Amino acid sequence: MIDLKGKNALVTGSSRGIGQQIVLGLAKLGCNIIVHGRTNTSCLKTLKLLEKYNVNTYCVYGELSDEKNVSHLIKQVQDLNINVEILYNNAAIMTPFHENIWNHSWDEWTESFRVNVMALYSICSAFIPVMIENGFGRVINISSGIKDKPELAPYGASKWAVNKLTDDIASKLHNTGVRINYLDPGWLRTDMGGENAEHPVEAVLPGALAPALVANDGPNGQLFSAINHKLRTDILED
């Protein structure tokens, strides 16, 4: 398990929910945090929660549904003039549940892949090459354990695409100091997971931090489970 103190972490969709929990966990480990939300003001709650930690914090914002907005988000991060060393691609959308599984529209499919896959790819493209050049990087793409749910087909298919993309990128990172893995956060009580989910959102920690803590020659292109991972809980003690 490596020391993350002083590293810079970007977590998309960290204004609430799973992303917010992840940045709080990383801050406890001493990471400087780049919070991302859809708007500037949506970051404020997370930034407030981070005040108790002795780390640098930043806010970037933007929707991830079109290329122009994603490019603007990337430029905001680059304009901070700090190296992104840890990247959690957490932001995602889920289109409406359809009891009739043949009613998913092309717009729903397109929107799901724009946000959940294409934006993720662009963000990886912006920051992984610099990580390789600098000899260190940890990229964690949020996946899903969803299965047998054609009622949510666009979401489920987009997450399988995330897994495949992660595998493909991992094949190019051998013999570098960069590791990319994907994380199943579990079924959590969030806006997306719903109030009937099995676990509170806080249960994503500490397991969600495990793929950020792997060694330079550690797992690459592998699936981590936040709920089932046996990471020492004492690493997050105040």
- What three-state secondary structure class fits 238? coil
Q: Which amino acid is at 26?
A: L
Beta strands, E only, the chain: 8-11, 32-37, 57-61, 86-89, 137-142, 178-184, 188-189, 199-200, 223-225
Query: In 50-202, which ranges are continuous DSSP H helix?
Result: 67-78, 106-113, 119-134, 153-170
Identify the active-site residue in 14, 155, 158, 182.
Answer: 155
Active site residue 159: yes
Report angle CA 139, 69, 191 to the nearest 5 degrees.
65
Identify the active-site residue in 53, 88, 143, 159.
Answer: 159
Contacts by residues 208-212 (CB-CB < 8 Å, ≥ 24 positions apart): 208/18, 208/21, 208/22, 208/25, 208/140, 208/183, 209/22, 209/25, 209/26, 209/29, 209/235, 209/236, 211/138, 211/140, 211/179, 211/181, 211/183, 212/4, 212/9, 212/26, 212/86, 212/88, 212/138, 212/140
Q: Rounded distance, CA 53 to CA 47, Å? A: 10
Active site residue 61: no
Identify the active-site residue in 14, 144, 158, 182.
Answer: 144
Active site residue 144: yes
For the annotated catalytic residues, the residue numbers are 144, 155, 159
